[in-house]
Structure 1
Amino acid sequence: MASFKKYKTKTKGTLWMFKIDTGVDPKTGKRTNTTRRGFASKSEAKLAADELEVHLQDGTLINESKNILISTFLEDWVEIYKRKTVRNNTYKQHKNNIKNHLVPNLGFEKVTKLTNAQYQNFINEMISKRSKRTVEIIHTTMLSAMYKAVELEVIKKNPCSKITIPDPNINKLKSPDTLKYLTKKEVFDFLNAAFVDNWKYYIFFKTLIETGLRKGEALALQRDDVNIDEKRIIVNKTLVYDEMKYENIFSPPKTNASNRKILITENLSRELKSHIVKQKEDELQLDQVDRNDFGLVFNRGDGLPFAKSTLQRAFKRICKNAGIDKNITIHGLRHTHAVLMLESGASMKEVQERLGHASIEVTADIYAHITEFIEVRSIDNYAAYMNYPQIN
């Protein structure tokens, strides 16, 4: 049975809504419900509720007319076409996207009136407030729902199919004030504190400092990716958290240039070898049920990757214990590697290849602030090399 309620809006005055029981979720055993809004009167809301109950019984989408609102269509779509056909976590993610993002921003528009430009503006607005990954997940829900609208002949074309999700960081060039990294002394202090804190964190963070790997690239490293004899690390994937599946998955690296082989120091090679040997010994002590054999070089101890929050807490704790009070993130260790490589004499091209940047322009833009230091060092080296004799 439906329940009805009045509510106020900023632009359309007082409207009516109803909530209706949609049955028991077979996966959780819990009762579920759906809500409809935007009715001018209680009687109008009751007619819609009665019609919805009929369609929930026979499994057909309510109101496939040309006047259907996006809010109504999305709520019907997720209950009728998704609730019993996808994993429960995926269903919940769709529900969350609809309730918190799509309905508040697009809900009062008719499905037939939504344009590509209007939807692109919505995406542009979202990217200014949310991470790119979150916007991609929200977009996945809307895109899938509109494809169903095309299939049902509510619309002829999907207005969400040819849009661009901007990179929120594309215009954020780094400067001495925004680019955070550790100095040579701070690296020593940080690693000493990490060693005292926990070996697992020490070897993970040291690898980031000495290779410039992105955090996801390091977490995706498997033992076969580390060639101890050649002192090289193979980078061919990254580990990302799939918010639709609620699990970590391997994904291709950020760009084609991110597929690379990185030469490492003798010191890091030796410590990684020791780490992997000890890791294998520890895993043999685990019960088979507790062992997750993904072969990850960096894991919690049971084979599973570190949680993002766990690494962040460890990083902040180690920085504090090392007396480092600058506002630096784990990604700052990648910048640390690049800056120290450049300061030690590496060329911009060499740093670009180690970091896996798509072009040298990207590297030069990010690290332009140390160009003056490099120029001074280069001219000093040139002068020392030439060592012109004094002309009398």
Structure 2
Amino acid sequence: MRGSIRKRGNIWYYRYRENDKLIEKRGGTKEEAEKKLNEVLYRINNGYISDSEMILKDYMKMWINDYIKGEKSENTYNKYLQTIEKYINPMIGKIKLSDIKVINIEKFIRDLKKVKVNTGKSISPTSVQGYYGILRSALNKAVKLQLINNNPCRFVDTPKRARFKANVLTIDELKLIYQRVNSNSYEDYIFRLALDITAETGLRRGELCGLDIDKHIDTKKQTLKVRQALIRVKNSYVLSQKLKTESSYRTLPISESLCIKIENHKKILKLKKIKYGKFYIKNTFDDISPNLLLVQENGKFIIPSSLLQRIKRLMKYCNIEKNIRWHDLRHTNATLLLEGGISMKVLQERLGHSLMQTTSDIYAHVTDNLNREATQTISNILNLTK
């Protein structure tokens, strides 16, 4: 169907027909009126029912498929979808979109806090905030689509998240782990290479497993590019070039010693290809065959979760009583850099955080310690003048 826009005074309006009724609404500027008309026509032409009848469950399905899928990373899309199917739809999905009130949102938050996860514990405050954030984003879009006049989340206090304190390894603990890794076996050797890269660059494990030797690593320029990630989607693995945020696409300098290790690794891979011959596995993702850096001895790609399993076993073997995940090696990298005097801005860029606030929140405990050291330093300086 078609609609139209027209100007009355200084204001542009847009008109369209729905359910045999001619509707005219205020658009603002000419560009705004055209945009709003296109959004309404898109909704009608794609079979979405009018806002007066649409329930939240139907709207969430439309929102995630039309505005999240393909726009966000596959990991983010799957996380949103899981939240919608597991929490939002069962709890408030049957309410009409136009009938959702502040009281419904607040009850949704209270009910989330009562949910018990597999461990028997309640959902963490951080997760509650994240699930609420997904609902708020969806309703913000509903306002822009003119399906609702206001987002009731505007009048709801955002759930507080727990202050995050990362588990990190000390230099001595890192040394102990390295001592326990037997590089004479290929399994330990490739694990150590993964450990070397993460300890130096702070890459996420999916980014690490997605590194392509030919496209992403330049040992002459001593740089490493993050352009894709190996992630799990349902029951299979995909090589996604849609990363978490725009800031996730980054180029990092790497040390000469790491470059030497990577060059030696290339030689080892050539020998493995000769050893396995036709049985050497060629990894293919959507008709693309990358030359992955981290592979098993027979060439098959290494899944990110296997790195977590291995670090867990090592923690136990080394008697390090810390709940360390592979991601905590990223935190260890960042903490050591901060304590070594690297600025928060440089750290933000290295980690690929889109917001400085994210970096500051995660490593607030480190900056607290550095602030205390700064206070002691200035105190010592001032005492010398007395």
Q: Which range, TM-score by smaller chain?
A: 0.5 to 0.7
Partner of residue 209, structure 1 = 199
Query: 2-side partners of 1:99 and 1:353: how far apart?
Result: 34
Match of 1:296 among 289, 292, 295: 292
Query: 2-side partners of 1:283 and 1:318: how far apart?
Result: 29
Query: 2-side partners of 1:206 and 1:337: how far apart?
Result: 11
Partner of residue 105, structure 1 = 91
1:359 equivalent in alignment to 2:361: no
Structure 1: unaligned runs, 5 residues or longer: 1-65, 78-92, 151-155
Q: Is the 8 Å Cα contact of residues 217 and 235 (structure 1) preserved in structure 2?
A: yes
Query: 1-side partners of 2:340 and 2:331: how far apart?
Result: 14
Partner of residue 287, structure 1 = 279
Q: Report Cα offsets for 1:206-242 as digits up to 9, x if no partner.
A: 2111112222222222112111112221123333333
Partner of residue 71, structure 2 = none
1:265 equivalent in alignment to 2:255: yes
Paired residues in the alignment total 290
Shift of 1:322: 2.5
Shift of 1:371: 0.8
Partner of residue 330, structure 2 = 334
- Judged with a 3 Å threshold, the aligned counterparts in structure 2 of structure 1 residues 320 and 119 are, in CA distance, closer, same or farther, namely same
Query: 1-side partners of 2:335 and 2:239: how far apart?
Result: 31
Query: 2-side partners of 1:271 and 1:377: how far apart?
Result: 41
Partner of residue 234, structure 1 = 225
What residue identity is the alignment partner of 1:371?
L
- Judged with a 3 Å threshold, the aligned counterparts in structure 2 of structure 1 residues 378 and 215 are, in CA distance, closer, same or farther, namely farther
Q: Is the 8 Å Cα contact of residues 69 and 108 (structure 1) preserved in structure 2?
A: yes
SS state of the match for residue 198, structure 1? helix
Partner of residue 182, structure 1 = 169
Match of 2:320 among 306, 320, 324: 324
- Judged with a 3 Å threshold, the aligned counterparts in structure 2 of structure 1 residues 290 and 194 are, in CA distance, closer, same or farther, namely same
What residue identity is the alignment partner of 1:375?
A
Match of 1:343 among 339, 342, 355: 339
Match of 2:208 among 210, 218, 222: 218
What residue identity is the alignment partner of 1:314?
R
Query: 2-side partners of 1:102 and 1:116: how far apart?
Result: 15
Query: 1-side partners of 2:273 and 2:102: how far apart?
Result: 52
Query: 2-side partners of 1:353 and 1:186: how far apart?
Result: 26
Structure 2: unaligned runs, 5 residues or longer: 1-51, 62-78, 114-122
Query: 1-side partners of 2:212 and 2:153: how far apart?
Result: 36
Shift of 1:101: 4.8
TM-score w.r.t. structure 1 length?
A: 0.55
What residue identity is the alignment partner of 2:359?
V
Partner of residue 11, structure 1 = none
Query: 2-side partners of 1:277 and 1:170: how far apart?
Result: 51
Partner of residue 306, structure 1 = 302
Query: 1-side partners of 2:99 and 2:243: how far apart?
Result: 38
- Judged with a 3 Å threshold, the aligned counterparts in structure 2 of structure 1 residues 163 and 259 are, in CA distance, closer, same or farther, namely farther
- Judged with a 3 Å threshold, the aligned counterparts in structure 2 of structure 1 residues 291 and 282 are, in CA distance, closer, same or farther, namely farther
SS state of the match for residue 261, structure 1? strand
Query: 1-side partners of 2:159 and 2:181: how far apart?
Result: 30
What residue identity is the alignment partner of 1:183?
T
- Judged with a 3 Å threshold, the aligned counterparts in structure 2 of structure 1 residues 158 and 295 are, in CA distance, closer, same or farther, namely farther
- Judged with a 3 Å threshold, the aligned counterparts in structure 2 of structure 1 residues 226 and 120 are, in CA distance, closer, same or farther, namely farther
SS state of the match for residue 233, structure 1? strand
What residue identity is the alignment partner of 1:324?
I
Query: 1-side partners of 2:82 and 2:345: how far apart?
Result: 45
SS state of the match for residue 213, structure 1? coil
Shift of 1:324: 1.6
Q: Is the 8 Å Cα contact of residues 294 and 304 (structure 1) preserved in structure 2?
A: no
Shift of 1:135: 6.0
Query: 1-side partners of 2:104 and 2:166: how far apart?
Result: 35
1:370 equivalent in alignment to 2:369: yes
